[in-house]
Structure 1
Amino acid sequence: MFDELVKKRGEQYFKLGLVRYCVKYKNYLFGEVVGSKIYKVKFNLDTLESICSCPYKYNCKHGYALYLAYKNNMFIDGEEIFNNIMKQSKEDIIKLLEKIITNNFLWEEFIEVDSLFNKIKNLIKLSKLEKKNIYTLRTFLKNNIKKLDDSELIKVVEELINNDVDDFEIYDIVIREIFNRDNQEIIYKLLILYRKNKDRLWIVEDYIIDRGVEELL
């Protein structure tokens, strides 16, 4: 899964002692490897693939260095760590958990983070601040539009209008998804918005004509 150049570089990293630690838990390796900064690496021992926080991301030299640490028995047994934790008192475990959370900013594991819709809503607001955020919003919508429920699609259209987003492709991404789902109640709500905001939602008329349901207009 690693090309030869990556393997050579990974071997150099391993020999230089740049693997900070390697933990085997179940059939995965978890570790940190020093590069231009410290990178977090996860290695799948079933598929021999790795993912890393470095720009290369997949099957990189840091992943191969971590694998070499494992192959050379330079790893810690993660299951043994958990077994030792289970033997500690409740108070000691809570103290350990508190230290882990505060040191690593892991609060989101214990609180409700923003929903997908709220993330989109925030990106829409950011698009008003800098033009480059329009491209981020467009890409995010393309990748996540199918995860929204029908009512959220209408809310996205409303947010786009209320924040004066003027980007044809963004509106098209959402409106196309609404028509593809063919939820008549949601389409009706979209038509109400269309009648009040024809300058923004003119693409709605094209979809209606394409479907041969001009009576909706």
Structure 2
Amino acid sequence: MNKPSLEELKNVFDSKTYSRGFNYYKNGHVCLGVKKDDKLWGEVYGTGYAPYKVQVDFNDKISSRCNCPVGYMCKHGVALILKWINCKEDFLDIDLFKSNLKDKGKDELLDMILSVVVDDPFKITLFTSSKTKTEKVIDLNAIKKRVNHTNLDYYDYDPVYKVVSELEPVKNSAQNLKPEDAVYVYITLINKCLELYMEIQDAYALEDLIEECVEDCCNSLKLFSGDEPIYLKEIIDLVLLEDYGFEVANILFAMATKNNIQIIVEELQAQIKQLEGAELPNHYKRGKLINIIYHLYHYLGLKEEALIAISKMELENKDDYLRLGKALISTKKYEEALMYIKEGVRLEDVDFRLDELFLTL
């Protein structure tokens, strides 16, 4: 198998993923590498104690899979490939191992299998009938107490690593829960991580954990069989709390269907009314929620419904007029769009995006 060039690697992985994967390789996160034909397997440590399992295929083009929340073409794949490029001799070769096995007798092979099982009794399942995976039932209140008990005050050295090391097992435990219980665990973790994130700097490992929890939460919602939105208020609270680019709003998109979109939108609208009625209205958060409503409808292919929803909102600033103008244009109602855009341009606050849209009509 030919080694890929660094240029090839940079072309197939985005720059952020490549950079993080390079850091993982450089810092020794790759703990195991195995090669067979045009494939690599490996174990790469992330933010917790247990490493992620990675597979890379060089057959037609470079592709990688992983049991991390990203799942495909992730930084763990980059780290494993870089290890192969730079330290090929550290990889176990299955083809060579297979040829060596052919020279061994039955008794030798039996002794090898028994030694594996004695060292790790759970591996007996590899040589017996397939096991049935069961969903665990846990005390969610106990999980919440455990998560909320985690604070920076306890640690005077490398607090981020120790906090992540404490919370990572909780995240991993959610993988075998019912989807609705897993969602609760991820929401609880995200809330706590965001709280801690606001208190510290250089929280690279904590950023990874938040992103992984968001991704896992989205995946769990896609597995959830019910149409009724779950933990909707809690998720909206997270959306309002988060403003660091972690894309927590993706959780709402993961749960949205044509059957439940109205319930989600009504809750978002209720939150908007609260923000508008507050003693000190938060225009930024208000605009954020209105944008989510608009894009949720678009995500489900409901352009007309998106227009109707935001048409009912008060037009308070240029951002509101810009949003409505774009919605009207998307439904080819150009004259009406121009009317509202003209009104918005006359407002005193500055928003060059609205002026540019006006000039294009």
TM-score, length-scaled by structure 2: 0.32
Higher normalized strand content (fraction of residues): 1
Higher relative contact order (CA 8 A, sep 6+): 1
